[in-house]
């Protein structure tokens, strides 16, 4: 649910007045209503476009014509076109899509995303490359352990959200799992985070994988940690990973769990509410947003995609109601993908002993934000609010302290 529909995109190729090709990287910002989309164009033997705020990469571009310093381009995949004029190392032009026109100027280069929280070595703890297996998949990950670790040291297995991601749950150049692992280790807590199957250094087939498949991968991770001798194993899951944490805990496979914006309502309702909320944030009226969302859900059902079919049919409630271990469930109140007010309420009802917390200014990624719209994720420098991993570490250590009393 970290991926959103591409609402607008553009790509271009230009010839300078001298006739030499403009190879390299160009960046522009497209404003659609109150949303600003950063466009990054790569010009070489082929021409492609990235839209970082929407996680889109390598969108192919077709060149329709160039005359002197003018260029005409199209992106059939998006039904978009662009006409631009080269002026003083910039390309000034107009982007057109679905009958609408938007001014768009590109400048040479790509601004580096600022991610000041990403941990950098040397680290005051130990890290080790490890692997574990589940059927056809060899999952590769990083075991992070504090100095002086023993079998009594609590450890968490980190499970990412929907979409294939690496062990850091990297998205929009943010690495939230790396930051959480860093904070936990500095507070005496070990962790294992791993690349999703078929992604990064992990192998396996993800073409027909479902939430159940990813749950089985996580189960294999817990089994591996048990084999290493850890006695206090928790599961920390974000978004879909939070739901997987509940599913595994229902079978008694975890000593404690942390759900970060975990889905507690059915997948279909979650996706419907998500699409409505994002459409409203984009500027649609409530009535139009509801109609748009219902149509989108119907279209998704008709595609027959195995992953989406399973997700929409999934009802986490029966699993959540069976959880007996300690639970920390958290959400951002500005989460537009897993709506805080809906899902935390379900968890509180089904797991009365759960500790829950809603963070007023945080989005689905637990960043301080303005609206919570997914297009903000990339432009926000903060990867995760510092209080979130700090709260998680404090909660885990409180469990460990109570066990020793």
- The pLDDT assigned to 64 comes to 67
Q: In the predicted model, is pLDDT for residue 300 greater than 50?
A: yes
Structural domain for 336, as ranges = 126-265+315-403
Determine phi and psi for 22, rounding to 5 degrees.
Answer: -95, 80
User: Cα(37)–Cα(51) distance, rounded to whole angstroms?
Assistant: 7
Is residue 252 located within the same domain as residue 393? yes
Asked if the structure places residue 170 within a domain, the reply is yes
Q: Per this entry, what is the length of the chain?
A: 405
Asked if the structure places residue 118 within a domain, the reply is no
- The pLDDT assigned to 22 comes to 62
Is residue 94 located within the same domain as residue 204? no
Q: In the predicted model, is pLDDT for residue 18 greater than 70?
A: no
Is residue 236 located within the same domain as residue 335? yes
Give the β-pairing of 56-60 and 155-159.
unpaired
Is residue 218 located within the same domain as residue 350? yes
Is residue 226 located within the same domain as residue 102? no
What residues pair up with 87 in beta bridges, in sequence order? Answer: 90
Decide if 237 contacts 327 (C-beta within 8 A).
Answer: no
pLDDT tens track for 350-362: 999 999 999 999 9
- The pLDDT assigned to 341 comes to 95
Query: In the predicted model, what is the mean pLDDT of residues 202-209?
Result: 96
Query: In the predicted model, what is the mean pLDDT of residues 181-200?
Result: 98
pTM, full prediction: 0.83
- The pLDDT assigned to 405 comes to 55
């Amino acid at each position: 649910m970290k991926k959103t529909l591409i609402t607008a995109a553009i790509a271009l190729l230009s010839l300078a007045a001298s006739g030499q090709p403009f190879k390299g990287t160009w960046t522009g910002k497209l404003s659609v209503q109150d949303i600003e989309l950063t466009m990054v164009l790569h010009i070489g033997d082929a021409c492609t476009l990235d839209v970082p705020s929407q996680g889109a990469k390598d969108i192919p571009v077709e060149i329709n014509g160039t005359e002197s310093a003018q260029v005409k381009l199209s992106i059939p995949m998006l039904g978009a076109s662009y006409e631009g004029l080269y002026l003083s190392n910039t390309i000034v032009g107009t982007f057109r899509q679905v009958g609408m026109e938007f001014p768009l100027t590109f400048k040479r280069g790509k601004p580096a995303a600022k991610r000041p929280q990403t941990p950098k070595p040397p680290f005051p703890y130990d890290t080790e490359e490890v692997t574990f297996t589940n059927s056809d998949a060899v999952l590769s990950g990083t075991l992070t352990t504090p100095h002086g670790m023993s079998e009594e040291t609590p450890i968490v297995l980190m499970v990412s959200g929907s979409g294939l991601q690496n062990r850091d749950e990297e998205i929009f150049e943010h690495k939230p799992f790396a930051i959480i692992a860093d904070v936990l280790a500095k507070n005496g807590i070990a962790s294992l985070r791993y690349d999703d199957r078929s992604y990064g250094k992990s192998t396996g087939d993800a073409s027909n994988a479902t939430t159940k498949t990813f749950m089985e991968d996580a189960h294999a991770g817990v089994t591996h940690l048990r084999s290493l001798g850890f006695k206090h194993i928790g599961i920390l899951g974000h978004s879909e990973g939070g739901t997987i944490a509940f599913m595994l805990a229902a079978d008694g496979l975890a000593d404690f769990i942390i759900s970060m914006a975990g889905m507690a309502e059915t997948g279909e309702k979650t996706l419907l509410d998500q699409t409505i909320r994002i459409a409203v944030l984009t500027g649609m009226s409530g009535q139009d947003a509801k109609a748009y969302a219902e149509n989108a859900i119907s279209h998704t059902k008709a595609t027959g995609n195995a992953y989406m079919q399973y997700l929409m049919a999934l009802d986490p409630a029966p699993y959540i109601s069976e959880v007996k271990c300690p639970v920390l469930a958290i959400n951002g109140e500005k989460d537009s993908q897993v709506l805080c007010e809906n899902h935390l309420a379900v968890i509180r009802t089904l797991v009365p002993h759960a500790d829950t917390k809603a963070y007023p200014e945080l989005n689905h990624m637990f960043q301080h934000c303005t609206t919570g719209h997914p297009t903000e994720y990339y432009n926000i420098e903060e990867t995760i609010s510092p209080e979130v991993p700090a709260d998680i570490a404090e909660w885990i250590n409180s469990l460990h302290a109570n066990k020793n009393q």
